[in-house]
C-alpha cells in the first residue's frame, strides 16, 4: 500500500528502526526492492533520484513506482530523491508520489529555508511529505552523483550539519524528515567513512524528527545499528546494490556463452534483491536506544 514518508517514519521512530530508501531507476530494481520488502514483510521507500532522469525519465518510472507501491502487501513510500526545484517537485506530486525531497542545501541558509518553505506549503496541500537537507552531502567520485554540482571529498567540516541550526531549520520549515550530513558520502567509499556520532545524536535530540542518512550503502552492520540507535529513520541505499548487480552481470558474461540480454536482467534483479534484503534485515530490526 502507498503511504507517506511521514507515516512510514513516524512508526519507525516510535519503534526505533529505519526504513530503507532504494533508488530504482530500472524495472529490475523496482521489482527486486518490492519483492525483497514483501518477502521480509518490512516497510520500504521506492525512490527516484532526479539525476537518474538521464537513465529513465521521471514521467516513465514514476507511474511504475506508484503502481508497485499501491499493489504491495507492505507500506511503500514513493519518494523523489534530491529534487532540485519546486517545478520538479510538482511533477512528482502530479504523478502520485507520496513524498519529495527538496535539496536546496547548496544555497545560502536563508534561501534554503525559503525554498523549503515554499515546497512544504505546496506539498502539504496534497498530503505529501517533505524531506530537506542541511549541510552538504558530498560524493566519493565513484558513482553517487545525486548531488550534481557538489565537490567530491568534503574536506571542510563546514559541510557537516550544525545541530543548533538544524533545530532552527526544522522549526522554520515544518519538514517531516531532515537529511543531515555527519560523515557519510554518496557513492562507493574510497576510504572508511568517519561518522560523527555525537553530532548525529545532538541533531536528533534538537530536531525531534526522523533523521535521513544519505550515502547509506557500504557501511558496516555495527555502524548501521549505531546510527539507527541515534535517530536515523531513513537510510538511502543504492550504490552498493547497483555495483552488486554489475558484478553478477560481469561474472555471467565471463562464464556463459550465447548470452541473451534478458538473462542479464534476471541475474541483475536477483543480485539487487539479495543485496537489499541483507540491508533491510539490519535496518528493520528494532534497536536499543543508545
Tell me the catalytic residues: 81
Separation between Cα atoms, residue 212 and residue 34, nearest integer Å: 20
243 binds Zn ion (CB under 5 A): no
Q: Which stretch binds Zn ion (CB under 5 A): 24-32, 63-71, 213-221, 262-270?
A: 213-221
Minimum Å gap between C-beta 281 and Zn ion is 22
Which residues fall within 8 angstroms of residue 240, CB to CB, at 6 or more apart? 188, 217, 218, 275
Separation between Cα atoms, residue 230 and residue 252, nearest integer Å: 41
Give the helix/strand (H/E) hosting 178: strand 177-180
Q: Which stretch binds Zn ion (CB under 5 A): 3-11, 29-37, 140-148, 279-287?
A: 140-148
DSSP 98: S
131 binds Zn ion (CB under 5 A): no
Q: Which residue is nearest to Zn ion (CB)?
A: 214
The residue among 113, 120, 184 whose CA lies nearest residue 147 is 184
Label residue 31 exposed, middle or buried (CB < 10 Å: 0-12, 13-18, 19+): middle
Task: Tell me which of 48, 199, 214, 234 binds Zn ion, using CB under 5 A.
Answer: 214
Q: What angle do CA 90, 93, 98 make, to 5 degrees?
A: 145
* Residue nearer to Zn ion on the CB measure, 214 or 273: 214
Separation between Cα atoms, residue 224 and residue 228, nearest integer Å: 6
Q: Which stretch binds Zn ion (CB under 5 A): 107-115, 122-130, 145-153, 222-230?
A: 145-153
277 binds Zn ion (CB under 5 A): no
* Residue nearer to Zn ion on the CB measure, 2 or 21: 21
Task: Tell me which of 146, 176, 196, 223 binds Zn ion, using CB under 5 A.
Answer: 146
C-alpha cell at 34: 518490492
* Residue nearer to Zn ion on the CB measure, 34 or 105: 105
* Residue nearer to Zn ion on the CB measure, 78 or 267: 78
Q: Which stretch binds Zn ion (CB under 5 A): 36-44, 170-178, 214-222, 264-272?
A: 214-222
* Residue nearer to Zn ion on the CB measure, 77 or 267: 77
Minimum Å gap between C-beta 195 and Zn ion is 16
The residue among 211, 226, 205, 197 whose CA lies nearest residue 287 is 226
Give the binding site for Zn ion (CB under 5 A).
146, 214
Amino acid at each position: 500500500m502507498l503511504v507517506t514518508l511521514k507515516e512510514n517514519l513516524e512508526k519507525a521512530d516510535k519503534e526505533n528502526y529505519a526504513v530503507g530508501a532504494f533508488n530504482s531507476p530500472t524495472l529490475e530494481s523496482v521489482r527486486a526492492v518490492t519483492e525483497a520488502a514483501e518477502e521480509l514483510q518490512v516497510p520500504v521507500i521506492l525512490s527516484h533520484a532526479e539525476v537518474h532522469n538521464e537513465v529513465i525519465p521521471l514521467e516513465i518510472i514514476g507511474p511504475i513506482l506508484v503502481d508497485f507501491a499501491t499493489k504491495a502487501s507492505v507500506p511503500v513510500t514513493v519518494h523523489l530523491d534530491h529534487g532540485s526545484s519546486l517545478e520538479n517537485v510538482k511533477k512528482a506530486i502530479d504523478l502520485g508520489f507520496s513524498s519529495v525531497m527538496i535539496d536546496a542545501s547548496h544555497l545560502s541558509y536563508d534561501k534554503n529555508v525559503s525554498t523549503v518553505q515554499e515546497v512544504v506549503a505546496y506539498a502539504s496541500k496534497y498530503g505529501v511529505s517533505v524531506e530537506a537537507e542541511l549541510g552538504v552531502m558530498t560524493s566519493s567520485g565513484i558513482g553517487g552523483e545525486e548531488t550534481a554540482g557538489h565537490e567530491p571529498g568534503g574536506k571542510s567540516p563546514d559541510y557537516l550539519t550544525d545541530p543548533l541550526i538544524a533545530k532552527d531549520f526544522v522549526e522554520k520549515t515544518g519538514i517531516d524528515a531532515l537529511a543531515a550530513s555527519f560523515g557519510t558520502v554518496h557513492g562507493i567509499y574510497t576510504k572508511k567513512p568517519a561518522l560523527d556520532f555525537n553530532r548525529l545524536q545532538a541533531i536528533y535530540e534538537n530536531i525531534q524528527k526522523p533523521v535521513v542518512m544519505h550515502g547509506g550503502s557500504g557501511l558496516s552492520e555495527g555502524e548501521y545499528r549505531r546510527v539507527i540507535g541515534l535517530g536515523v529513520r531513513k537510510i538511502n541505499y543504492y550504490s552498493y546494490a547497483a555495483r552488486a548487480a554489475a558484478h553478477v552481470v560481469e561474472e555471467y558474461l565471463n562464464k556463459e556463452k550465447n548470452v541473451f540480454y534478458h538473462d542479464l536482467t534476471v541475474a541483475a534483479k536477483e543480485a539487487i534483491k539479495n543485496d537489499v534484503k541483507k540491508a533491510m534485515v539490519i535496518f528493520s530490526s528494532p534497536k536499543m536506544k543508545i
